Structure 1
C-alpha cells in the first residue's frame, strides 16, 4: 500500500514538473521573441524630395505570414498647428522584409513643417489590408524629424542588400504512359504457321495436322481510326507498319506480296483497325 502511494506521488511530481518546464520554456521563448524578434521599422532616405517618405520594415514572416500593403503616418500635435494630420498610402504587396519610397505630396510637407512638431508625437503604422494586421511605431516629433533628415540609406539599396535569394526548387515529373514500350528490334522470325519460313514444320506430320497456308498478295493496306499504338503490327511486319507516337501508318513503298504477314498483323491488332484487300 505504501509503495503504491509513493509511486503515485512520484508520478504526480513528475507531471507537475513537466507542466512547469513547458510553461517556463514557453515564457522564455515568448520573452526572447519580444526582445529580439519584434517587427522593426526604420526611416530611410527618400528620393522623392520633401514630399517623399522612405522606410524599411523587418518582421518574422515565417512566424507571422502577412501581406503588407499600406502605411499610415499620423501627427498628434495638441499644442501646435495643425493639431492632427493623417496620411495613408498603399504600395505593392510585400511578404517578407522590404523597403518602400512613397510620394505623399504636399500633405507630408505640412506635417513636417507643423508648428510645434518638436513637442508632438508621430505614429507610423504598417498595415496588411487583407489580413487586418497592423504594427504601430511611435516617435517623438523631434526624434522623427532627426531620423528623417539624417537617413542615408535609400530604399532601393536596402532591398538589394536584404533580398531573399532562395534557390528555386526543381521538380521532375516522372514520365507516365499507358502505352507499352516499343519491342526491341530483333532479326528473329516468329515460328508460326503463317510464316512461310516455317510453313513446312506445321504441315501434315509437323504436329498441327493442317496444310501450310498459301501466301497471297494484297492490293491495299490501311489503318482505321482508333489505333492505340501497341506496336504489335510493327513487331510482326515492320517493312509495312510503322508505329508513331499517336497512331500507326503504312510505310511508303511497303511490300504487299506477303499477305500472310499482313493478315497476321491484322489478327494481332487488339482494336481491329488494320484493314487490307487481297490483290
Structure 2
C-alpha cells in the first residue's frame, strides 16, 4: 500500500513479521493509517488475517480499503479474512447477563465474562482461517484496545487478555503469527490505568510505532511524526540473569495524502526547504 512505510519499518511485503507483537501508539494524531497499511499489504499477500474492531465497524475499514485499491469483501469471501465486532459482542453479553442479574453485578463480572468470550471468538476465527492455509500464519489486529478501558474493564484484565492473545497468535519467535494492537494515549489527560496499559504493552512488544502530532502544532504540509522502536533480546545475558534488550529507534515525519503517505526526515519537508 505505502512502499515508503515498508522500507522504513523494514518489513517484508510477502510475509508477516515473524512471531512479533507490534504496538501502534497514537498521541495527538490519528495512527490508524498504519493498520490500514498492514491490512492492505498482507491482503494482497494472501495472508490470513483477523481484525477485531473495538472502535470502528466493518464498513469503515471496507471504505478505507476500497479507497486505496484493496477489497476486504473479496478477502473475506476467500475465507482468509475475518472481522470481529467487539462492541457487538460486549453488547450481547450485557443483554445476556442482565436477564438474570443486576446491572451492578454485570459491571463487576464484565471483565471476566467479556474478555473470555472475546478470546474464544478470536480463537475460533483463527481456527477457521487455518483451514484455508497455514495455521501458524495469521495477522491479528485490535483497533482500539483503549476502548476496553472506557467501557469499564480493569486494566489488569486487559493486560492479561493481550498476554493470552500473544501466546495464541505467536507462542514463539519462530512462529509466523503477528499480533498488532492500537492504543490511544492522550498526554493531556492524566489516566493512570491507560498509562499502565501503554507501558506494559510497550515493554512486552517487539516493535513500537509511535505516531504523534508536531510539537509546533498544526501544519498543512506535515501531519505528524512517526517514531519506530525495534526491540530484540540480545544473546549476551545480563549480570542479573535476564537477557538484555537491544533497542533501535528511528524517527520520520509524514504527510498523509489521498492514496499514499509521504515520509521524510525531520525538517526536510518541501514546505520548509
State the TM-score bracket (shorter-chain normalisation): under 0.3
TM-score under structure 1 length normalisation? 0.20
**Max Rg structure:** 1
TM-score under structure 2 length normalisation? 0.20
Instruction: Considering Cα pairs closer than 8 Å and 6+ residues apart, tell me whether 1 or 2 has the greater RCO.
Output: 2
The structure with more helix, counted as a fraction of residues: 2
